[in-house]
Amino acid sequence: MVLSSRAFSGHVVISIWLLLGCSLTNGTDTDIFCLKSIKESLEDPNNYLQSSWNFNNNTEGFICHFTGVECWHDDENRVLNLKLSSMGLKGQFPRALQNCSSLTGLDLSINNFSGAIPADISKLLKFVTTLDLSSNDFSGEIPVDLANCSYLNSIKLDQNRLTGQIPLQLGQLSRLKAFTAANNLLTGQVPTFGSADIPAESYANNPGLCGGPLEPCQVKSSKSNTAVIAGAAVGGVTVAALGLGIAAFFFVRRVSAKKKDEDPEGNKWARSLKGTKGIKVSMFGKSVSKMKLSDLMKATNNFSKDSIIGTGRTGTVYKAVLDDGSTVLMVKRLQESQHSEKEFMSEMATLGNVRHRNLVPLLGFCVAKNERLLVYENMKNGTLHDQLHPASGGGTMEWPLRLKVAIGAAKGLAFLHHTCIPRIIHRNISSKCILLNADFEAKISDFGLARLMNPIDTHLSTFVNGEFGDLGYVAPEYTRTLVATPKGDVYSFGTVLLELVTSERPTHVAKAPETFKGNLVEWISELSSKSQIQDAIDESLLGKGVDNEIFQFLKVACNCVLPNPKGRPTMFEVYQLLRAIGGRYNFTDDEILVPTDTGDASNLEELIVAREEND
């Protein structure tokens, strides 16, 4: 859809009020069907479900008031948790749960469920993070498929009649924090959980469990103890004879490796790629000629430290100058990812086709051994963060340029939320991921990369380690829910807008009194409560005939960082509002971004993958 700037300004107010007046009207029919089917499949002697689960209602979010049902939002029929503990329910494991497609928590404990736990449980509970089946009459073996519920961080299976061995594959659940299987009929070796310290009490009162925190499992041997002792003695002599030679070998090797690590022109991980330089770089389109890994290594001087132009939680960025001397690229070395190579290639195929004027285009990628490299178009003017907070302390951005950057970045992020297929939640919006080309046109970087990292650790590392200083950008509800949402991105972008209008850092406000210990958003809130909001604006921007625009801009920013996510505008609305403020500058082309959906609901996987148990 194409409109002139004049036509746009004439309709923008009406459009915004129409958008603000809209609410979500489309519920999740599958979730309603899910609960109906569960109710029909179970015996409910105490009438907990019969009295509460009344489906004669067409209002949005009505199932959220059912006993034991928790929703993502109170006005949306999308089940988040199902807590049916201590209701006296009878029946088998309800397979209808597969229709509650956004379910992340299931508690069926202290009931009278019987029969086997489904062998294909991962297909029924794709995104479950907490599973409590304790104190029931479940029988049979624990399904191996439970290990495919990769988001699980709590499993409670105690007080049942489960038999056989606990699947060792459960030890591969990298997020697992708690596991209990006490008071069953289990035998054999227990799994080794690398991500959690499971105590012996979790396996108590089973007839034959061993290993881990329990007694060691007995290993049968055809050799006598005497033979074993004799063999060990002979082996000990042999090892002692070889010890000095091996020690000397590794000492020399260590000294040599240390010298290599001290080489300022080299890089240890880059040197490990020796023998893979012939690997081709997969390119999207024909914007850059065909390349091999050797070309990238040469262009970055073997990924030397001198070539580093940026670092972040998703990886390190290197400047790559090709042989022609005029072609400059950015190469990002991703941090370690938990995705398989197949999954990585699939993600690249998706991201490589995401194109928009205000997104940093992904030109190609390369997989070599355990290394994953992404090739991007170079952004000559670096990051917005460096422009706002130059290391030298000098220079400033004029108001029209700040407004231009805000509008362009808002358009790029709105495209990801509302128009891109599949829609993408960024999760890591900050002034460091907004890059500026030679014309200072804003382009969003790192979109989609959160899915390639550990989807939870990309944010949790901030809370645990205080890395990167991004706490000022993180929406307050995230610390409670650990759920990434579009409105979380809006909050982060609102912080960037505050950064643009105040020139203050998000976590350290230089103009605030020494007694103030909060972040930028909290400082703005405090000034607003005292009717002193004008004190927050960068003084270099005032008194130049644009004060009204600046105050309108500040109002949009404040709406983006409201504590309640429901009160925040969508990114489409933010883009429209900013474009209206900057209408007289003609910053952008005449194309108006048309969303496919302005609601809060996003691609389900994007919402679910960041959720963990929040005790």
pLDDT in tens, 367-413: 877 788 888 888 888 889 989 988 766 567 899 999 999 999 999 99
Q: How many Cβ atoms are within 10 Å of 516's Cβ, its own excluded?
A: 12
Residues 27, 40: contact at Cβ < 8 Å? Answer: no
Are 360 and 486 within one domain?
no
- More confident of the two residues 117 and 14: 117
Question: Which band of pLDDT confidence, cut at 50, 70 and 90, is reported for residue 219?
Answer: low
> Does 275 score more than 80 pLDDT?
no
> Does 607 score more than 70 pLDDT?
no
Are 414 and 507 within one domain?
yes
Q: How many Cβ atoms are within 10 Å of 46's Cβ, its own excluded?
A: 12
Are 372 and 393 within one domain?
no
Is residue 515 in some structural domain? yes
pLDDT at position 160 is: 94
How far apart are alpha carbons 1 and 15 in whole angstroms? 14
Q: What is the pLDDT of residues 228-261, one digit of tens each?
A: 444 444 444 444 445 445 444 444 444 444 434 4
Are 500 and 402 within one domain?
yes
pTM: 0.54
pLDDT at position 355 is: 85
Are 312 and 450 within one domain?
no
Are 339 and 391 within one domain?
no
Are 101 and 165 within one domain?
yes
Residues 359, 415: contact at Cβ < 8 Å? Answer: yes
Residue 298 structural domain? 279-377
Number of domains in the chain: 3
Mean pLDDT of 189-197: 86
pLDDT at position 239 is: 44
Is residue 358 in some structural domain? yes
Q: What is the pLDDT of residues 144-153, one digit of tens each?
A: 999 999 889 8
pLDDT at position 277 is: 65
Is residue 516 in some structural domain? yes
Which of 326, 294, 293, 321 lies closest to 307, judged by CA? 321
Is residue 12 in some structural domain? no
pLDDT at position 559 is: 94
Over the chain, what is the mean pLDDT? 78
Domain boundary among 162, 193, 210: 210
Which of 580, 573, 566, 567 lies closest to 595, judged by CA? 573
Which of 595, 601, 605 lies closest to 414, judged by CA? 595
pLDDT at position 210 is: 92
Is residue 270 in some structural domain? no
Mean pLDDT of 414-433: 87
Are 324 and 391 within one domain?
no
